[in-house]
Structure 1
């Protein structure tokens, strides 16, 4: 299913997204936007959640706020409330479940002098909740990690796995098309620092444009994400190797290519089937 969205549709989707609580948003959005695939919706929700948290995390995790949340959690335990206390608190304060659980763990392990526990300790406890010395907090944290698709070790491992899966998919499709290429590991062995996922040994032509490299992105490409990748990665590939292609496997907002008209970087949501090998032209 093609996932190239107009700016109008994308803006409408974001407006609907911002009105929903953190959990179970994809199910609601599926009903509102049935033409958009579930995978694309999940990707958009995750990206927007991360942006929202970057902007509001500091305000939601002041020492006073965390103290109030910790006391509320402790009181709920004393009142023998049913499991899911931190999940309900997450919906109430507007912090994702994993980030909330992390804040509560930091407060729980806070020393008498108010100093915070080390980041290594907190990360270790988040990765293995069985190590948390409080049974109720351990179980509540475990529930938060299961429910959070955007943050936490489970979400991060899933994200990395999907990214690698699509890199392998790109390589397999190029091999099937008999396109010769070097992948990222090959390029680093040759001494390159910033490298695309694939450098074509023999360029290909796509829609009349010569392409020398391909970058795989297992996410949705909107203007903010694309501008970030242009600055941090894509322009350096263009400077070194010339024109290239970035694939946003979960779709993108149309007209992204207009952002960089003077530097040819094609944008697609799949590997094009109309590639022409330059050796065939010669």
Structure 2
């Protein structure tokens, strides 16, 4: 029992920041794997890359499979008849695992395969009708097909209502973590709901009422991403969100909680005022304004002339776009 603290202290810290070589190795393993994505994820996390943050591996897998499926989408639309024919011919040879076996052979996500089969079998033209069958397999009039669809739903870690719910919960968990850590650090901020009430459309997770310094750089906002920051995904985030934040509010931070590619923080696109981190800023790296006693942060923020004097060269927080 006395050795427990020592053992706890020796737990190896999983790596979040990946070199180009290691990131490429992970992607090559994913693209060369034959089988279900859920099994590939198990192999990545428990056998081949045990020293890497597990959620980073999960995110890289998701990104690689998503990019692959986009490249073959036009082919998948033409495979429905063939897949339905195979299912009808072999459905009496297997119990509830036929569609899982077919997904492995065809290199498809189980839910994507179910979607193609349902589309072809019932001639469903609207995606919402197919989604209804996927969420409620008992509505399918073929009991054997319904059982196969149910098995696919719980065996797919890339698509489906279960996977969507898990990702949403993780995203909300890390947004809450950001707000909790910001409050503990003594940061006064507006959250997304506050900003929308003030008339903003695109909003970061938190916007500082008063900017602070992080390693000499002014920080006006922080965006939380429960994801791994590869260069392609980061470029997309800049185009869709971060560029707008910098234009309106000034420089800020994006946190990729599960790590990032080593080249992501050095991308030229970040020069508009984006700092990339894998965790909440360390307290010793932050410098805050000292408010006068008895003055609320909100009132102080409104006095822009006083704020600019105190901040010196600090860039003022932006106002809503006209």
Q: 2:286 aligns with which of 269, 272, 276?
A: 276
* Counterpart in the other structure of 1:218: 226
How is 1:132-211 mapped onto 2 (pairs within 5 angstroms)? 132-211=140-219
Counterpart for residue 120 of structure 2: 107
In structure 2, what is the equivalent of residue 266 of structure 1?
275
Segments of structure 1 that go 5 or more residues without pairing to the other structure are 111-115
**Distance in structure 2 (CA, Å) of the matches to 1:185 and 1:211:** 20
Q: Secondary structure at the match of 1:169?
A: helix
Residue matched to 1:67: 81
When normalised by structure 1's length, the TM-score is 0.93
CA deviation vs aligned residue, 1:28-81 (integer Å, no higher than 9, x gap):
22322221022221121112111111111221231xx2111101111111x331
Q: Confirm or deny that 1:26 pairs with 2:34.
A: no
Partner of 2:94: 81
Structure 1 residues 119, 27: closer, same or farther in 2, change over 3 A? closer
Contact residue 26 and residue 41 of structure 1 kept, 8 A? yes
SS in 2 for 1:279: coil
Paired position in structure 1 for 2:253 = 245
Aligned equivalents of 2:246, 2:208: Cα separation in 1:
13
Write the distance in 2 (CA, Å) between the matches of 1:202 and 1:277.
Answer: 11
Distance (Å, rounded) in 2 between the aligned partners of 1:70 and 1:58: 17
Once residues 141 and 125 of structure 2 are traced to their aligned partners in structure 1, the CA distance between those partners, rounded to angstroms, is 14
Largest Rg, 1 or 2:
2
Q: Confirm or deny: 8 A CA contact 1:183 1:197 kept in the other structure.
A: yes
Q: SS of the residue aligned with 1:262?
A: helix
| Cα pair 1:2 1:269 within 8 Å, conserved | no
1:53 to 69, 76, 80: 69
Equivalent of 1:43 in 52, 59, 65: 59
Q: Give the structure-2-normalised TM-score.
A: 0.81
